[in-house]
Structure 1
Amino acid sequence: MNELIYFFKTRKKANLTIVIINVVVYIVLALTGDPADSAFMLRHGACYLPAVINGEYYRLFTSMFLHFGFYHIVYNMLSLIFLGDILETIAGPVRYLVIYLAGGIGGNLLSLAVSMKTGSYAVSAGASGAIFSVIGALLYIALRNRGTFGERNMKKLVFMVVLMIMQGTVDKGVDGAAHLGGLISGFLLGILLYHQKRSTQYERL
C-alpha cells in the first residue's frame, strides 16, 4: 500500500490529473450505463461525423475522455501514466497539456476526415489519439537531442509504444486514423513548443 501511495505521489501533477479525470468519467458512465454500447457513448459525447457536421464540435474534445470498456481504459491509462510523465518532466505541465489536448483533437480531425472520404461512419472515443500525440512529441524530442533521451526513458517509450501497438492488434475497433493524426500532431507540436535541451532532467523519473 505504501508503495502505491508513493507511486502516485511521485507522478507529475498535470498528467495524473488527466488520468484521474479519465478514470472518474469511466466509472460514472459504467455505473449509469454500458460504456461498450455505441448509442450510450454517443449520447455522452463520443465522436461521430454526422453529429460534428451538425455543429456538435465539443465532441472533438469530450470523446478524448470516454472509453469503450474496461480493457480500453486500462491499456490507455497504463500507457499514459508513464509516457505523460516523461513528456511533462521535459516540457513542463502547460506545454504537456497543450500537446495532449491539441494533439488529441488533431487525431479526431484526421479520423473524421477519413470517415468523410470513405463514407464509413463510426462512433469513436478514447484517449489514444492524445496519447499518440504525446508519443509524437517524445519522438521529436529524442530526434532533436540525437537520441540522448535517457536510457530509462527510452526503454519506457519503446515499451509503451509496443503496448499501444498490441492494443491495436487485440481490439479490432481501434481507430488507426486517430492514432496517426495524434502522432503527426504531437510531432508538429513538439517542433513548435520544444526549443531547449533539458537533458539534466531525463533520469528523474
Structure 2
Amino acid sequence: MIFLRYENWKGYIKYYPITTILLAANVIMFIVLVFNGGSENPYTLIKFGALANIPPLNEEVWRLFASMFLHSGFSHLFFNCFALLVFAPPLERLLGWWKYAFLYVASGFIGNLITQGYYNNLSSAAFSVGASGAIYGVYGAFLYIAIFQRNKMDEASRKVMYTILGFGIIFSLGVANINLVAHFGGLIAGFFIYGLLIRLFKQKHR
C-alpha cells in the first residue's frame, strides 16, 4: 500500500524534500496571513496573491503561482496539507524531485489559469486561493498510473485512489465555495503532464 506513511520526521524530510518544502511554504504563508489581517480576510488574501477577476489584478501572472500557497481558514489549510503529506510522497519518489516539482507547480498553474479565465467571464467579483489544483494534479498523475502503469500500483492503493477521486468529485460538486474549475483543471493537467514526462525522460526504478 503506497499511501501508508511509515517514516519518522527525519526520514520523511530525507526522502521527500520537495513535499516537505511545499508543506512548509503552505504553513508559513498561512502564518503570514494570520498576522496581516487574517487568513479569511479577502483584502489580505488579495494583497498576498489571491486570484481575482477585478482589473488589473486579473492580469497579474504572479497570482497564478502565489495563490496556490494561500489558504482561507485553518480547515482549508489542514485538508490540503493532509492530502499533500500522505498522498504526494510516492509520486516524488517515482518521478524524482524536479519532475515532481514541475508537475505539482504546472498543474496548480494550469488549474489557476483555467479558473482565472472562468472568473473573468463572471458578472460578480470572485477570488480564489488554495493548493487544490496542484494536489489534484498529483491525483491526476496517480490516475494515469492506475490506468496505464498498473504494475507500479498495487490493487489496494488503486482502490484508495479511485475512492479519493470519487469523494473529491462529490465534495467538489456538493459543497459551496469549492473551486471546482481548479480541481478538474489540475486533475486533467496532472494526468497529461505525467504522461508527457515519462515519455520525455527515462524513468528510474525506485
Same fold? TM cut 0.5: yes
Deviation at 1:9, TM superposition (A): 2.0
Equivalent pair of 1:132/1:183 in contact (CA under 8 Å):
yes
Alpha-carbon deviations, 1:31-80, whole Å to 9, x = none?
23211111210011111123466541100000000000000000000001
Mapped to 2, the partners of 1:62 and 1:168 lie a distance apart of 22
Structure 1 residue 34 and structure 2 residue 51: aligned?
no
- Amino acid across the alignment from 1:85: P
Greater mean deviation of Cα atoms: 120-129 or 138-147: 138-147
Given candidates 123, 128, 133, the residue that maps to 2:127 is 123
User: Once superposed, what is the RMSD of the aligned Cα atoms?
Assistant: 2.6
Greater mean deviation of Cα atoms: 14-23 or 161-170: 161-170
- Return closer, same or farther for 1:29/1:54 CA change in 2, 3 Å cut-off: closer
Alignment identity in percent?
A: 33
1:35-184 equivalences in 2 (<5 Å): 35-51=39-55, 55-146=59-150, 148-151=152-155, 153-154=157-158, 157-158=161-162, 160-161=164-165, 164=168, 168=172, 172-184=176-188
Mapped to 2, the partners of 1:89 and 1:152 lie a distance apart of 19
The alignment's TM-score, normalised by the length of structure 2, stands at 0.83
Q: Which runs of at least 4 in structure 1 moved beyond 6 Å after TM superposition?
A: none
- Return closer, same or farther for 1:38/1:69 CA change in 2, 3 Å cut-off: same
| Ranges in structure 2 where 5+ consecutive residues have no aligned partner | 1-6
Deviation at 1:137, TM superposition (A): 1.1
Greater mean deviation of Cα atoms: 129-138 or 160-169: 160-169
Equivalent pair of 1:108/1:129 in contact (CA under 8 Å):
yes
Q: Which residue of 2 aligns with 1:8?
A: 9
Mapped to 2, the partners of 1:15 and 1:115 lie a distance apart of 29
Deviation at 1:143, TM superposition (A): 1.6
How many residues were matched structurally?
197
- Return closer, same or farther for 1:161/1:78 CA change in 2, 3 Å cut-off: farther
Equivalent pair of 1:136/1:182 in contact (CA under 8 Å):
yes
Equivalent pair of 1:129/1:183 in contact (CA under 8 Å):
yes
Alpha-carbon deviations, 1:99-119, whole Å to 9, x = none?
100100000011112223343
- Amino acid across the alignment from 1:10: G
| Ranges in structure 1 where 5+ consecutive residues have no aligned partner | 1-5
The alignment's TM-score, normalised by the length of structure 1, stands at 0.84
What secondary structure does 1:136 align onto?
helix
Equivalent pair of 1:64/1:127 in contact (CA under 8 Å):
yes
Greater mean deviation of Cα atoms: 41-50 or 148-157: 148-157
Structure 1 residue 18 and structure 2 residue 19: aligned?
no
- Return closer, same or farther for 1:159/1:28 CA change in 2, 3 Å cut-off: farther
